[in-house]
Amino acid sequence: MRPPSVRPLLHALLGAAVALLLSPVAAMVTALVPPPARPAVFPAAFAVLTAALGLSRVARRISVELANRLLGTDLPAPVVDAADARLRWPNRFRTSAWLLLHAVTGGAATAVAALLLFAGVALPAVWLRGGERITVLADVDVAGGAWGSWTVPAAAALLALACLAGTATAALLRRVAPFLLGHRPAERLIALEEQMRMLAQRNRLAQELHDSIGHTLTASTIQAAVARQLMATDPAGARRALTGLEEASRAALDDLDHVLGILRDGRAPTAPPLSLADLPALLDRVRGAGTDLSADVTGDLTRVPATVSREVYRIVQEGLTNALRHASRTTPAEVGLRISVTQDRLDLEITNPITDHGAAARSARPARRQGSGLTGMAERVALLRGEFSAGPAPEDPEDPEDPDGSADPAGTRWRLSARVPLRSGS
């Protein structure tokens, strides 16, 4: 939908204002040269001064904004190109050309519109005063009485032409704007890459929110069940379970507010993400849910690269959440966690009992949604160039209670394991 006619005229007035501000400076420069050269020096000085305004990055942003608001264009926002001279200088030159065109056409359209408006007001005014000879673009005899009534439709036509001057100028600039203010192929590629980075960040935040909230809800459900069972027999234990539930819920709300704030505002995250340094607090929350968790951590966790540390923490969190989700509701879950950090890699293993065939089947199925369950953990490990596996743990052939290894797999333990390299090429 085209903007109202007053907006193109306003855009022309802004161009005329630029021309009006720079004309005295151009005239001062012109006065320094001999009179015969002044007719050529003035337009050259005016063009140089106007083009110089386009060398500012702010000029391009303002020009794009004004064109979208007043001309009805749909130009994309300028790409930040300070780091790439191949984009910076061509864009500045294009902006300079646009400002020069805007100033020249805006000044011309404003001058023509002003003359037409003056004529459109002067002719009926002279007729109403009884008529006389006036000069409006040419000498015109305006008679009084009925013979001078032609000035009314003439004035209406002149006013329409004044509006048309702004509209015609806007049509010209609207056609040229994509070439001078729009994105070039390199800029479109940069904008697309930025959109992809933003989408990847949002997907990562959504995945982290799923892991965090899913873990908290699972642990809170178990803690609430424990508190209900202990309410009559062990009030102190019930209070401890309720306290753990309160702390976990508060942490989940903080994570939720943080992630939703980032997604709403489109800003980059400022709070430090969770990593293996936060592992003790995670293990305490799991144990607070009534889980018999044994953790064996060997090696220096501080040597783990930051990216690996963050992703492995989320894998551990999701793995423990799955263990809690599929644990028996009658007996405490016996969950084992082993993390081994060597010079070249990090090994992770989480084991928990398989309570029934149904739980094993549910655990073995990949999650339906990307970024959740086993699929999300496998994706994290793949991004780290590691190896991931999950399934019933094979029987130990040296187990004296099962020498032939024929135990029912439903009675075995479920094992999740990951191996992540810590060095390139490992």
Domain containing 126: what range? 6-183
**How high is the pLDDT of residue 215?**
62
- Same domain? For 138 and 216 the reply is no
Return the CATH number at 379. Answer: 3.30.565.10
Q: What is the DSSP letter of 36?
A: G
10-residue averages of pLDDT along the chain (426 residues): 64 87 89 86 89 83 89 81 60 88 89 86 82 75 78 86 83 89 74 69 65 66 71 76 68 62 54 78 80 88 83 87 69 83 91 61 40 73 86 60 44 84 68
Written as six digits, the tokens of 216 are: 């908290």
**Domain annotation covers residue 1:** no
Determine the residue type at 203: N
- Same domain? For 127 and 202 the reply is no
For 306-375, the DSSP string reads HHHHHHHHHHHHHHHHHHHHTS-SSS--EEEEEEEE-SSEEEEEEEEE--SHHHHHHHHSPPSSTTSHHH
**Domain annotation covers residue 177:** yes
- Same domain? For 213 and 88 the reply is no
Cβ atoms 174, 73 nearer than 8 A: yes
- Same domain? For 166 and 213 the reply is no
Please say which residue of 143, 158, 183 terminates a domain. Answer: 183
Give Cα separations from 239 to 75, 122, 228, 231, 287 (angstroms). 61, 90, 10, 8, 15
**How high is the pLDDT of residue 350?**
93
Using a cut of 0.85, tell me whether the model's pTM lies above it.
no
- Same domain? For 71 and 113 the reply is yes
User: Coil, helix or strand for 128?
Assistant: helix
Domain count, the chain: 2
Radius of gyration over alpha carbons of the chain, in Å?
38
CB under 8 Å to 227, separation ≥6 — which residues? 238, 239, 241, 242, 245
**Domain annotation covers residue 426:** no
Alpha-carbon gap, residue 175 to 170, rounded angstroms = 8
- Same domain? For 175 and 264 the reply is no
Please say which residue of 183, 204, 236 terminates a domain. Answer: 183
Please say which residue of 168, 183, 198 terminates a domain. Answer: 183
Determine the residue type at 10: L
